[in-house]
Amino acid sequence: MSYIVFARKWRPKDFNSVLGQEHVTTTLRNAIAQNRVAHAYIFSGPRGVGKTTTARIFAMALNCKDGPTKEPCGACDSCKEISNSTNLDVIEIDGASNRGIDEVRALRENIKFAPTRGKFKVYIIDEVHMLTEEAFNALLKTLEEPPAHAIFIFATTRPYKVPSTILSRCQRFDFKRLTVNEIAGKLKEIIKSEKLDIEEEAIYTIARAAEGAMRDAESMLDQLVSFCGKKIDVESATAVSGTVGQEVLFDFTEKVINKDTPGILKLVDGIISGGKDIPQFVNSLVVHFRNLLVAKTSDDPQALIDLPKEMIEGICAQAKSFSSETLLYILTVLMNTQDSVRRAISQRIPLELAAIRLTRRDDLLSLTSILDRIGQLEKKLEGGTDKPETKPAPKAEPQQHKDEKITEPLSLSFERVCEVWPNFLRSILSKKMSVALFLQPAQPLKLEEKLLTIAFSKEHNFHKEALEANGNRKMIENALSEILRHDIRVDMKVVEALEKKVSVEDLLQEEHQEETHEVVKSALEIFGGNLKKR
Ligand SMILES: [Zn+2]
């Protein structure tokens, strides 16, 4: 018997075996049962989660010899041909390689003719968003008046790239990324039936590395079998998947707990020289610290963490060494790193910087002391005479900053908002550190009447959402109202890119003293910005 890859061999042949997409398969089955099949469908979702497979099963159900039926038999000629992609009534087009108008013209010519054997002609266009505009226009004409026997199924990983004129004529189904447990479950089925011998942790290593795509998990399993035969251990799985093992994540975290900067840099070096995929490693770290935060804050971590039971116990134990706020801070740093490793020419540097930040977090978290120093400089720039102190401010309880100016009645202007912004951050910091941390990358954008718009760049959307939650917005509004002595309302907005930095940097720009540079450097580190001239 010839060799068939797992992804093909284990491809689902009926609706019941499609994994994790019950919301789609149930609706499609009901549509057939109630004779309410539409002419056009759009299946959107990540790659490898079953979109084209479901499209083929739907075609089988429609054209099965006694069909349309909710449960295709899988045994009749029509079913078998569709499953082998040799059926003349089910036409599969790859949008990525057939982008042109010619293919769509041929389709329009061809669609007029009745199906050869089945009741329907089913056109499955994969990666439909890749079609050219001309091709879409031609397709649209067909969709406006489809022949009674024609059914279109468009599959896409990027539905937002499909013109709305097409989308509005389709019934849309969103396919989900599979969970680690769903993938692990299916892998176990395959392993049992193929009589493979695989360690439990190796199964989870594959399932995690697949990032929600069953097809990727099956391909990895294939690779492993040809790599090490029927007996597979966790080391081989880790090597083939290009991921790092769980023990590395635990080790990294241990070094963060112990603030072991030399140790963590050595660990990072080992990962890089081991040829591991760095963006994937940072993603794994984000998931690991997310799990720690879940363990810290949820009363049922088992339900929310995709790991074997004994590992969840390890997570819960590690979580005890952190406060939720520290975990939030670490996650913020790591999520920024996710973005910068993708853009950086040398991926090593952002990862090392993050590692240093996390192991030296106390120094960075004494935001209060640095803000105090900025406050002194600010006064000086405004004409005060007091020199900045050279000794570091004490890391004491956050102090209420006394700015005499705020006791005077003041007119409200955008400039005034920018001026008090550092004061405002300081005041928030004394109330709730996580809110101050999320506000760091933000900037005041404009003031209309008493409505202040605060801007975030796209990569900080998460920060914005966190600030919109619960009482955070209210806290921001109250703090601003108190400082500005007007009732301020706040709107938060994500913008393409933050252009001008109206913040501490501007206030400090004209300073050239050594001390100032230190403060600017620290401030920039905290505020995550670049020094820009306006
Ligand atoms: Zn059949």
| Backbone phi, psi, residue 500, to 5° | -95, 140
| 159 shares its domain with 74 | yes
* Residue 119 alpha carbon to ligand 1 centre in Å: 12
- Alpha carbon distances (Å) from 466 to 338, 391, 438, 462: 18, 35, 7, 6
When pLDDT is cut at 50, 70 and 90, the band that residue 173 belongs to is very high
Place of tokens 């105090």: 372
Neighbours of 390 (CB within 10 A): 8
* Residue 97 alpha carbon to ligand 1 centre in Å: 30
From 118, 153, 174, the end of a domain falls on: 174
When pLDDT is cut at 50, 70 and 90, the band that residue 409 belongs to is low
| 109 shares its domain with 167 | yes
Q: What is the pLDDT, as a whole number, of residue 26?
A: 95
| pLDDT tens per residue, range 240-289 | 887 777 888 999 999 999 999 999 999 999 888 877 888 889 998 999 99
* Residue 27 alpha carbon to ligand 1 centre in Å: 20
- In DSSP terms, which residues pair with 152 in a beta bridge? 40, 123
* Residue 50 alpha carbon to ligand 1 centre in Å: 20
Would residue 534 count as lying in a domain? no
Q: Which residues contact 60 (CB under 8 A, 6 or more apart)?
A: 13, 72, 74, 78, 79, 82, 83
Q: In this structure, what CATH number is given to the domain that contains residue 344?
A: 1.20.272.10
* Residue 86 alpha carbon to ligand 1 centre in Å: 14
Would residue 281 count as lying in a domain? yes
Which is higher by pLDDT, 93 or 365?
93
* Residue 2 alpha carbon to ligand 1 centre in Å: 25
* Residue 401 alpha carbon to ligand 1 centre in Å: 77
* Residue 85 alpha carbon to ligand 1 centre in Å: 14
* Residue 218 alpha carbon to ligand 1 centre in Å: 26
Q: In this structure, what CATH number is given to the domain that contains residue 23?
A: 3.40.50.300
Q: What is the pLDDT, as a whole number, of residue 189?
A: 94
| pLDDT tens per residue, range 415-439 | 888 888 888 888 887 777 778 878 8
From 222, 241, 260, the end of a domain falls on: 241
Q: Region 114-141: what's the mean pLDDT?
A: 89
Residue 406 gets which letter from DSSP?
G
Q: Is the pLDDT of residue 402 over 50?
A: no
| 358 shares its domain with 372 | no
Range of the domain at 258: 246-363
* Residue 372 alpha carbon to ligand 1 centre in Å: 76
* Residue 44 alpha carbon to ligand 1 centre in Å: 26
Percent of the chain with pLDDT over 70: 84
| pLDDT tens per residue, range 341-393 | 888 788 888 999 999 989 987 654 445 556 666 667 767 766 654 444 444 44
Q: Average pLDDT over the chain, rounded to whole?
A: 82
Would residue 1 count as lying in a domain? no
* Residue 68 alpha carbon to ligand 1 centre in Å: 9
This model of the complex carries an ipTM of: 0.98
| 14 shares its domain with 162 | yes
Q: Region 457-465: what's the mean pLDDT?
A: 79
| 59 shares its domain with 79 | yes
Would residue 280 count as lying in a domain? yes
| 21 shares its domain with 161 | yes
Place of tokens 């989308």: 167
Q: What is the pLDDT, as a whole number, of residue 533?
A: 36
* Residue 76 alpha carbon to ligand 1 centre in Å: 4
* Residue 80 alpha carbon to ligand 1 centre in Å: 7
| 159 shares its domain with 191 | no
| pLDDT tens per residue, range 501-533 | 444 344 334 333 334 444 445 555 544 444 443
When pLDDT is cut at 50, 70 and 90, the band that residue 149 belongs to is very high
Q: Point out the least confidently predicted range of 185-189, 396-400, 518-522.
A: 396-400
* Residue 5 alpha carbon to ligand 1 centre in Å: 24
**What is the number of domains present in the chain?**
4
* Residue 88 alpha carbon to ligand 1 centre in Å: 15
* Residue 77 alpha carbon to ligand 1 centre in Å: 7
Given the DSSP bridges, would you call strands 171-174 and 489-495 parallel, antiparallel or unpaired? unpaired
When pLDDT is cut at 50, 70 and 90, the band that residue 81 belongs to is very high
